[in-house]
Chains A and B, each alone.
Chain A
Amino acid sequence: MRFLVRFLSTVLGLAVAAGGALLAIEVGWRWWQPGRAPLIVPWERWREDLAALPWTSTSVRVTAVIVLVAGLLFVLFALAAGSRAVRMTDPADGICVSTSPRALARLVGLAVRAQANVTGASVTASARKVRVRATSRLENEEQLRPRLLETVATVLDDVPLERRPKVSVVVDSPKDRR
């Protein structure tokens, strides 16, 4: 996502620069040489087209929807490109330590999978929340969940995180379906 925003930002910067340059050049050219044809952009033809196009026309609506959706995507990309690093407490002045959500999730996942009667587990983690979804054939949710909560708590105790994430554990067991 960060790469995408960087790329998008480069392209948009270039587009803004090009647009600004064309605007300045065309207006300046018309000012300097009033009777001559436009230099690069055929804006006189565009002007006639736009003067004949009402706001209700389909092409205007389609363009508006495209611009709206593209803008929404830009906003979403920009929001999603924030730093996701999970901060740990600083061991000393001038040193700060962080880990990636993926590393934290793997750390939790290893501990959860090492528990007895856990067939599989998927873990997602962020600085605020750790979600564990474990499957078990032998134990139902009521039996396994407290144990897994405790396991995750022990793992989180061992990692000096700046803020302790909330933990949610869901157990998926065929025993619960009967």
Chain B
Amino acid sequence: MSRSTANRVSTRALARSHSAERTLTFLLGLVAVLAGAAALVVGQGWLGEFRARRPLLDPIAVSWLAGHQLYARIGAVVLGVLLFVLGLWWFFRSLRPERRPDLALDETPGAELTVTAGALAGAVQADAEAIAGVTRARARAVGTSAEPALRVTLWLSEGTDVRRIWTDLDTYVLARAREALGLDSLPTAVCLELDTTGPARVR
């Protein structure tokens, strides 16, 4: 894995991607805003008093549609099917849980070696919790099976030197994981949190 790819994969592993959901919600919201605003503008008579007094289902539009009945029907059916497919894809995409890919170390037929996502996460978690100052750790495999990555969340106790943890992580935990798995690189995203259940502060 090249350097920039590793960086890209690890950046992507930072948090679950919400971009598709956000974009679609944003676009639909934008359409609703524009439609509502347009209806208000027409109703206020800013596009002419005549237009404002016409009914919603304008006879002119209806007769035009009746004149092009075949095309209108084909268009409506195609639009309906497209919306249906898009909506279903959108629905299942939103419901889909985040993937936990297994790590395929050796793919030669007959000698496949796979580390399950749970085993990898458990090993890294145990190592990370051994660092002084880390009260809790959670690790999980994320990404795709072609580009697996690791997301580690560390809860630090109060008064821990963040910079030390930041260096220990690579030299101690992740280096060990890479060594054990025989990997050159294991893209990793680390989220540092302060633990709220630390010892009470005395003043």
Contact = CB atoms under 8 A, between A and B. Distances in A.
B23 to A, nearest CB: 8
B7 A96 contact: yes
Interface in B174-199: 174, 185-194
B7 A90 contact: yes
A55 B39 contact: yes
Interface residues of A, number: 76
Contacts of B45: 56
A14 B7 contact: no
Contact of A94 (B1, B22, B33, B35): B1
A81 B64 CA distance: 43
B163 to A, nearest CB: 6
A8 B52 contact: no
A24 interface: yes
Contacts of B85: 17, 20
Contacts of B7: 90, 93-94, 96
Nearest to A72: B33
A15 B87 contact: yes
Nearest to A106: B194
Interface in A24-62: 24-25, 27-28, 31, 47, 50-57, 60-61
Contact of B193 (A23, A24, A79, A103): A103
Contact of B169 (A63, A91, A102, A110): A91
Given A68-B37, A91-B169, A98-B190, 7 more contacts: A5-B18, A17-B84, A24-B76, A27-B76, A55-B51, A94-B6, A159-B163
Interface of B: 1, 3, 6-7, 9-11, 13-15, 18, 21-26, 28-37, 39-40, 42-43, 45, 51-57, 59, 62, 73, 76-77, 79-95, 158-159, 161-163, 166-167, 169-170, 174, 185-194, 201, 203
